[in-house]
Amino acid sequence: MKTAMFALLAAALLSGCKEELAEAPPPAPLTEESVSFFCQMEVLGHGGPKAQIHLEGMPVPLFFAQVRDGMAYMKSPERDARITATYVSDMGAATSWNEPGDTNWIKAEEAIFVIEANVAGGMGAPEIVPFRNVPDAEAFVTRYGGRLVGLEDIPDDVVLAAVDTDTVLEVPE
């Protein structure tokens, strides 16, 4: 009887821990102190969509001046800790390309991404553009080209390929 009670208690405790680990931290707003993880430059000083990645045991997220950079970090085998949440700018809710918003974050796994569009992100590289709604993403594709994919369908070469500096990319309005 004691063994069965212990097993039930252990299962209840473990399921409680599992729920705590599964709960993602909320997105953090962009501030003037937010710097891009790779280049340590001010995130707000660059247009285009942004990404933030929360790591287990870290009190603040890593910010990225381009979603492409955030996706590169996610695909990298060398990370500082386990990723607990990833958020990206909803460009359908953005005021403009140069003002993507500081609080309009969506979970990356829920976003629709436009890839292979002829647009430059905040650091000048081709950008991966996230949207909450398919109609907003389709309107972007109509104007700038590209195609729609989910997070898991973003090809490695879109994220990790070298940037062709001879290609002229458009900066959306």
Please give the torsion angle defined by the CA atoms of residues 138, 140, 145 and 147, in that order, rounded to the nearest 10 degrees: -40
Report the distance separating Cα 159 and Cα 77, nearest Å.
14
* pLDDT reported for residue 172: 87
| 102-115 residue pLDDT tens | 899 999 999 999 99
Greater model confidence, 160 or 170 = 160
- Beta bridge partners of residue 119, listed in sequence order: 170
Domain spanning 26-160: CATH 3.30.70.2060: yes
Greater model confidence, 40 or 106 = 106
Report the distance separating Cα 24 and Cα 116, nearest Å.
29
Phi, psi (deg, nearest 5) at residue 17? -65, -40
* pLDDT reported for residue 162: 86
- Domain segments of the chain as ranges: 26-160
Q: What is the mean pLDDT of residues 135-149?
A: 97
* pLDDT reported for residue 111: 98
Confidence band, pLDDT 50/70/90 cuts, at residue 167: confident
Assess whether pLDDT exceeds 80 at residue 100.
Answer: yes
Assess whether pLDDT exceeds 60 at residue 11.
Answer: no
* pLDDT reported for residue 43: 59
Alpha-carbon torsion (150, 70, 107, 97), positive or negative = negative
| 12-33 residue pLDDT tens | 444 444 434 457 899 988 767 7
Q: What is the mean pLDDT of residues 56-67?
A: 90
Radius of gyration of the chain (CA): 19
- Beta bridge partners of residue 107, listed in sequence order: 87
